[in-house]
Amino acid sequence: MTDISHLDQVFIKDLLVRGILGINPEERTNRQDIVVNATLWADTRPAARSDDIADAVNYRTVAKAIIDYIEGGAPLLVERLVEEIARICFETDARIEAVEVSVEKPGALRFARSVGVGIFRTRDEFFPDA
């Protein structure tokens, strides 16, 4: 397991994307709100020293990759989507060592503001030989 105690957190909060997600017929045809939160563990010291975006985990690039995936995909389960978003984070920037991702479906459950799934993954879980 990757030790993240020396790493910093870059986060994306409440990213709202419309996409196809779910098992019910109406969920398969009608786009719905999907809320994504992602915390990316990486060393931000190089960017802090250089003040250069090339040395930073670019949260805009990560967010765009997540948006593109959700808008273009149509997974059945939230569990699948949250796992794929974790993979996308690692594929987008090699400096990301761990991620915590949650995906929520607001209004999907009567009497609940939102339902969803949250996971924590490390780079070595996806790329063990890297």
Q: Are 12 and 63 in contact (CB under 8 A)?
A: yes
* Known active-site residue 105: yes
By the 8 A CB rule, do 57 and 95 touch?
Answer: yes
Q: Which residues contact 31 (CB under 8 A, 6 or more apart)?
A: 18, 19, 20
- What is the C-alpha to C-alpha distance for residues 38 and 66, in angstroms, rounded to an integer? 10
Q: Measured over all CA atoms, what is the biggest interatomic distance in the chain, rounded to whole angstroms?
A: 52
Catalytic residue among 95, 105, 121, 123: 105
Q: Which residues are catalytic?
A: 105
